[in-house]
Amino acid sequence: MRDYQSLTHTTWDCKYHVVFIPKRRKKVIFGMIRKHLEKVLRELAEQKNCQIVEGHLVPDHVHMCISIPPKYSVSYVVGYIKAKSAISIARKFMGRSRNFTGKSFWARGYFVSTVGLDEEMVREYIRHQEKEDEHYDQLKLGM
């Protein structure tokens, strides 16, 4: 049985696979920034009554399976999370690195797909994304 959620007049299960990247796909999501983002992304999602069901931060992108209530659009929630997390990163890390100049941390746009009945497959993909990226990088080096 699926875990449906409820609002006053709605029963729902709306999950999305979302991917977004830092500007110029720089590999800046590591160390203290990664720790900070883990906390901030979950807090921001909760502020909009959303839940990050599965998430993984890779040095050059973010993968998440996020549950969003039908009262919010996906673009609104992702825009909110990206904007507020960029502000949080700038406040905490600006001046410590040349990667944080006060301009937006995230690149414009994002990838999204509905999860539907393949939720477990999508969650597994997100869990193992870093291993896949490392394998791909090793293949490129072997050329």
Task: Enumerate the active-site residues.
Answer: 125
Distance CA 73, CA 58 (A): 25
Which residues are CB-neighbours of 89 under 8 A, at least 6 positions away? 33, 36, 37, 40, 100, 105
Helix ranges (DSSP H) in 94-142: 119-127, 129-141
